Structure 1
């Protein structure tokens, strides 16, 4: 009887000692388990083919765009087969914008589990730049982005007398003026010329010249010009200082 009691007490003591050891080891065991889980997730996401790149999708190109989805995919240069998590979306975006100047913006993102998504916005032309015998489409910010064989009927031609460092701001000013015009004036616009960013001149139908000046206060200048055109009787209008407009027959 005494031997049975002693044996039972020894077993209870061993169980308690084992339980105390487990309690002491529990934080370490939890850390090991978490490490194994994190390691498995890192391997699956970053190194395995479970979440690899299998497609590159493109959104935002109009049906009539001369650019194709293949053009955008090629510019992004995102290879298939590698882990989706390792795709450098910022670098892909930079490559798209650098190689395709006709795009005003591009966003590259990961669409889990297997797709790189590219969303683009094309530039909208507002004028055609006549430059050394070539014609280039220009957007409202003054970026020339595409050479065309002929002027689109709905766009006026802009010619510049500025060169060197003043050329870019002069083009931007001229394009900004055209972009700001209300539809009623745009339908009358034939051509634009500029020597500097502050000396934009418009030519309207009927061989009417308008000295616009800079792109500042364009909304106010447009209202003043519209009122003067309603009065008629002039071939030259100067609204460069909209509070003191002048006309010449």
Structure 2
């Protein structure tokens, strides 16, 4: 079989390579497009950076505070130390939250947020006392997690005293050695958190003799043997039922909530 002629081979090469100069022209167009896009991105990035950090259009002008009850907004602003006049984007919100928690332990939760274009918001929740530890005429407030967070000269109304009845050689002393005071305080706070609202309002003191021997003294002299902080919800329900069933009783025992008891009249 005869091979292809020189003319045929040339024709095939022309067909496979396409029209001359088309491919280089497409390559130059793509290159120009890439260059244009790169320049646009540089200008866009520079403009955004200037807007956020260099202009006066997004700077801190106000620091708002919400959630205060005992603290004042001025105290919260001072502790947060947010730099007014700085670019809003440059404010370290985590650092501001850390300063608030460190300087104002009364704060339980805090959220520092940017509100564009000119405001930083300090949204806090203050701790609520469930117990008071009295010492030297002052009162240390304890929240429902057992955190001792503030000392005040005047006792808040409606908050029971915590009494750690330490006796040399007694059960409380042994519990202190075994669990430590902090654990016993947390257990007492756990009990105070689970007491039914109607009872909490008239509870005068929470007494801790040991880890599993916690009792309540009510304002009218009645007492409640609660036991440990475990099964608090069940104990609360049992106590509510006992108070209705035996309104004249003086002593209630819900340390075993499945077998509550009352006595005295």
TM bucket normalised to smaller: 0.7 to 0.9
Residue matched to 1:4: none
Residues 187 and 54 of structure 1: CA distance in aligned 2, closer, same or farther (over 3 Å): closer
Residue matched to 1:8: none
Does the 8 Å contact 1:128/1:135 carry over to 2? yes
For 1:137-190, what per-residue CA distance to the aligned partner results, in whole angstroms no more than 9, with x for missing partners? 222222222222232332211122475862222222212222222232123311
How far does residue 135 in structure 1 lie from its aligned partner after superposition? 0.9
Q: Output the CA distance in 1 between the equivalents of 2:83 and 2:213.
A: 49
Q: Output the CA distance in 2 between the equivalents of 1:50 and 1:232.
A: 68
Note if 1:31 corresponds to 2:46: no
Residue matched to 2:48: 41
For 1:8-56, what per-residue CA distance to the aligned partner results, in whole angstroms no more than 9, with x for missing partners? xxxxxxxxx9997455322112111211111221122134433111221
Residue matched to 2:109: 105
Moved more, 28-37 or 188-197: 188-197
User: TM-score normalized by structure 1?
Assistant: 0.81
How far does residue 227 in structure 1 lie from its aligned partner after superposition? 3.2
Structure label with greater radius of gyration:
2
Residues 221 and 29 of structure 1: CA distance in aligned 2, closer, same or farther (over 3 Å): same
Give matches, 1:130-209, under 5 Å: 130-160=134-164, 161=166, 166-209=180-223
- The unaligned stretches of length 5 or more in structure 1 are 1-16
Residue matched to 1:92: 96
Give matches, 1:61-80, under 5 Å: 61=68, 65-80=69-84
Residue matched to 2:259: 244
For 1:75-110, what per-residue CA distance to the aligned partner results, in whole angstroms no more than 9, with x for missing partners? 111111211111111111111111111111110011
Does the 8 Å contact 2:242/2:261 carry over to 1? no
- The unaligned stretches of length 5 or more in structure 2 are 1-23, 167-171
Residues 20 and 221 of structure 1: CA distance in aligned 2, closer, same or farther (over 3 Å): closer
Instruction: For residue 155 of structure 1, give the secondary structure of its aligned residue in structure 2.
Output: coil
User: TM-score normalized by structure 2?
Assistant: 0.76
Instruction: For residue 125 of structure 1, give the secondary structure of its aligned residue in structure 2.
Output: coil
What is the RMSD computed on CA atoms of the aligned residues? 2.5
Q: 1:53 aligns with which of 54, 60, 83?
A: 60
Instruction: For residue 36 of structure 2, give the secondary structure of its aligned residue in structure 1.
Output: helix
Note if 1:212 corresponds to 2:226: yes
How far does residue 231 in structure 1 lie from its aligned partner after superposition? 2.1
In the alignment of these two chains, the number of paired residues is 230
